[in-house]
Structure 1
């Protein structure tokens, strides 16, 4: 579960390394974000060598949560967890900023209609 103020690793090759969650766009009773949810992030750390789009610290972007440390349970009874909290950055139109996603993308991303991220990911869970 991700809440406001959580630091996230960026798992695409857009040039950003870390981001901070500013807002969760899907409102629930607990105000927590899960895998596949849209959030607004502020960039905290960028990689200047891979930074072709001139991303700067403090810029705001929409992002999709890809991995959370909290275990997630599926309807069929299986559960999974990840080693880190990570997200992938999106442009204003909703397409991914990066051309590759390192790490895994869970199947819940497909249910939220982010098929482009599944295509770019190296593995799916």
Structure 2
């Protein structure tokens, strides 16, 4: 479960290293975001020599959460950290590679 002020790692090579969620896209009264939800985030930490800047507002999609995800067949999936991928306005990822497992 991701809510505003949650810190997330970045799983692609777009140049951002850490994000902070500031808004969940969807209904106006949604409190939490889960896997495959789109959020608005601000960049807190970057890799050197990248086109992205610190404190830039971006759109990201959540690919892994620490909170477990329960499937209908009884399988439970849980990851070690909260991870997102930076996307552009059309929904395409800004990076060329995505690292780690994608739920």
Could you state the TM-score of these two structures normalised by the residue count of structure 1? 0.78
> Is 1:59 aligned to residue 25 of structure 2?
no
Q: Distance in 2 between matches of 1:28 and 1:37?
A: 14
Q: Which has the higher contact order (CA 8 A, sep 6+)?
A: 2
Q: Distance in 2 between matches of 1:28 and 1:68?
A: 22
Could you state the TM-score of these two structures normalised by the residue count of structure 2? 0.94
In the TM superposition, residue 76 of structure 1 has moved relative to its aligned partner by 1.2
Match of 1:46 in 2: 46
CA contact (8 A) 2:24 2:30 kept: no
RMSD: 1.3
Q: Distance in 1 between matches of 2:58 and 2:44?
A: 12
Q: Which runs of 5+ in 1 are unaligned?
A: 107-125
Matched positions, count: 103
The DSSP-based 3-state class of the residue aligned with 1:102 is coil
Q: Distance in 2 between matches of 1:101 and 1:71?
A: 21
Q: Which runs of 5+ in 2 are unaligned?
A: none
Higher normalized helix content (fraction of residues): 1
> Is 1:96 aligned to residue 98 of structure 2?
no
